Amino acid sequence: MATFHISEADAARDFAGLLDRVRAGTEVVIESDRYPVAVLHTPSPPRRSIEECISMLPADSTATIDEDFASDVAAADVRHV
């Protein structure tokens, strides 16, 4: 992710432009006297709880919660369930 640094005063003058940069994937660091005071970036995607993951399993799933469960969940592509 590219990072763009801007002063507090310049950020106030063109906040809409900063949001356009963020939407395009750039992280924006707003600074006061060269010290960062705020960082703008796109939000992280929402994370699912374990209960939500389990509820998404098909009724005939053979999934079990064991010592390999976390790696199994990481390897699964549950977005297509």
H/E/C letters for each residue in 20-56? HHHHCCCEEEEEECCEEEEEECCCCCCCCCHHHHHHC
Give the SS3 label for residue 18. Answer: helix
In this prediction, residue 17 carries a pLDDT of 95
In this prediction, residue 78 carries a pLDDT of 56
Predicted structure pTM score: 0.58
Which residue ranges form the domains of the chain, and what is each CATH number?
3-40 (3.40.1620), 50-76 (no CATH)
In this prediction, residue 80 carries a pLDDT of 47
> How would you write the pLDDT of the chain (81 residues) with one tens digit per residue?
799 999 999 999 999 999 999 999 999 999 999 899 999 999 988 888 888 888 888 888 887 777 887 777 777 765 544
